[in-house]
Structure 1
Amino acid sequence: MQCPQLFRFRSIDRLPEPPSEAATRGTLIHAVLERLYDAPLGERTLAAAVALLRPQWAVLQETDERCVDLFDDEASERAWLLGAEQLLATYFTLEDPNRLEPESRELRVETELEQGPAMRGIVDRIDVAPDGAVRVVDYKSGKSPREGYEGSALFQMRFYGLVLWRERGVLPKMLQLVYLGDGRVLRAEPTQRELEITEQKVRSLWASIQDAARTGQWSPRRSRLCDWCAHKTICPAFGGTPPEVSPEQVERTTGVRPAGSGAGAATDAEPRHETI
């Protein structure tokens, strides 16, 4: 949806991208909030959350070697961690974790559409009320979208809602986005019709991906986000030349063999592929 060319670079070419300070801080905040709920009720405090920051940062550096060289000096790292503390402080103004007992945290969900792709994702938190009502919660370390520009964020949440609905047979009561960058909470109560429309959109997107795979036309879509793209130097929109991609890589990701590569499209007997 953002850029077909970027989809190719990330999902088919699987080109490496250097970690950014903002994205890495978001990963760290997610890890801290996940583990905060390991503590018993009454002990889920801001101090407890802050105490988790450095241990979880050490774990992140161990599991992703790219994070080791993220900062040039200790002062920059300290300032970055202080920014993470501020985001955690904002979280405690929006929710009281001592009044919550999540059913799931960092839950992997998956469902396969009939004659369509498998849909996968990781949901930050799922709350289930005594009456069975399901709330899907996602944390965002950045700022909320401007009024009138919430569509992309809501599509992500409806995507999660759709997967859970298909997987569990229960329509989520609430979709909730918690923005720590500006302390805003975006909520939506999805209807069955809205999730059915989301499914139609997913099918349409998947058809577009398969068409691009078949023709090799991954059209770049320029926007302000290009300024932060790790692949700008090889993007044709900026005079770059993308690397050659093998038909096998395309087929492995999309289930479609590119036209003129000596083989036809994948058959229904072959494994389904995911959409991201």
Structure 2
Amino acid sequence: MANSPSGDSVTDRVVRILETFGTDRTVQTAAQIGRRAGLPSSTAHRLVAELVDSGLLERDDEHRVRLGMRLWELALRGSTALRLRQAALPFMEHVQARVREHTQLAVLEQGAALFLERLSSPASGANITRIAGRLPLHASSSGLVLLAHAPAELQKAVLASPLVALSPETITDAATLRRTLAEVRRDGWVIAPGSIEVVSTGVAVPVRDRGDVVAALSVVLPREAPTAGPLEALRAAAVGIQNVLAADRR
């Protein structure tokens, strides 16, 4: 891809445009996209128009722009995330029916916990996670499971970086985090009360594929809710998902 006068490629600029969209910002004008992507107005309008023509973005009757269905279609073709989600969903439904709180599936993606699926009941408690949303690895039960089994280089980077508190009980001390990750590897699960919201407890277990941890399966419970039953349900579901993934490879 040809570079702009500033040295960034067309691919870089397109990625920056797409990254301006989020779960809390689904519709924008081309001018807003340009400002948030750090692009000149003329460049932003031209690239947005080309992405609309290709179907990767869509424009509504008020000339506002949103992510296009074609982007979703292309992302799912042959996606390992889709395969994992399809394998996990029936077992997540079993957990959800038993626990009747938030049941979630997350993967490690670019140094964060990326949530692929979430099932909730109308009366489920507090939970800030969203499908396609991200959380820091040190600050959620899913993230702790993923970080505990992440490459050593990533663990070192997280431990050496400032650990931002999402609640008063988020782990922000590197020594405590290191000890917690060792416990996760030893026990095969984590219970994290108050790590994101003080009124909730996260419980998570790893999901493996050919021995490697590829996801974290979790529930978010009210703070004082018992955890033994949900943990049992999660561990059984993780085994079921792993069996389906293994069968798919035969």
Question: Same fold judged by TM-score > 0.5?
Answer: no
The structure whose residues are more often strand, as a share, is 2
Structure with bigger RCO (C-alpha 8 Å, 6+ apart): 1
